[in-house]
Structure 1
Amino acid sequence: MSDSAEPHRVEIEYCTQCRWLPRAAWLAQELLTTFESELDELALKPGTGGVFVVRVDGEPVWDRREHGFPEPTAVKRLVRDRVAPGRSLGHSEGKQG
């Protein structure tokens, strides 16, 4: 069961012109595996113009134009902070400087 009663939705908008669907799908799989009980929905949204944005409940948490392509661990931390604050991410968190 979720830590909060609120439903959470993650959206990954990716550029179809750049053929970034495999990257978006892989990141989606990572997030769904990690947050299987916290997320109610994960959507892949086709876009254009080099877009690669991850949103949680409508708020952007990662934008390729500002931060480059994300490492899954970085995105997991950002998603966790919104959907399951205080939850440990296990071994992947040990890499924080």
Structure 2
Amino acid sequence: MAEQVAKPRVSIEYCPKCRWMMRAAWMGQELLTTFENEIGEFALMPGGVGIFTVKVNDTVIWDRKITHRFPEMKELKQLVRDIIVPERSLGHSDRKSDQPKQEAPIAVEDCTKGAQEICLTCPKD
């Protein structure tokens, strides 16, 4: 019997205080619809203040603290596709052939180390 390869896990860690759960859930729904046969698991994970991080397995493909914005759905699909099924076309959601492949955000040292965690978008309690 051939060894079966596990399908990738996609996770979105979001800030519940910022009320980003619905955005994360919608993005997960879109990814599961687009990659229904390629994604093995999707997880929503409540996280720290101001966090919105998307991972494929253990690889961070989007971090709002680095990019200072949310991903467009089109670019998130491209980033996921580039990791799990790079040969697949996304049709109208794909980049034009003359556009360079988008790289995932470069990991940087956590800028909140030693600082008080304050999120400007979180509602005040």
Unaligned runs of 5+ in 1: none
Gaps of 5+ in 2: 100-125
Q: How many residues align?
A: 94
Identity %, equivalent residues: 53
Partner amino acid, structure 1, of 2:70: F
* 1:14-68 CA distance string (max 9 Å, x none): 0011010010001000100000000000000001210000000111000011121
Alignment of 1:50-69 (within 5 A): 50-67=50-67, 68-69=69-70
Q: Distance in 2 between matches of 1:78 and 1:35?
A: 12
2:50 maps to amino acid: G
Whichever structure has more helix as a proportion of its residues is 1
Normalising by the residue count of structure 1, what TM-score does the alignment of the two structures yield?
0.89
RMSD: 1.6
2:48 aligns to what?
Answer: 48
Change (3 A) 1:80 1:43: same
SS in 2 for 1:55: strand
Kept in 1: contact 2:6–2:40 (CA 8 A): no
Q: Where is the strand percentage greater, Structure 1 or Structure 2?
A: 1
1:2-81 alignment, distance < 5 Å: 5-67=5-67, 68-81=69-82
Larger RCO, structure (CA 8 Å, separation 6 or more): 1
- 2:89 match: 88
Q: Cα distance, 1:7 vs. partner?
A: 1.8
**Which stretches of structure 1, 4 residues or longer, exceed 3 Å deviation after superposition?**
94-97
Task: Name the larger-Rg structure.
Answer: 2
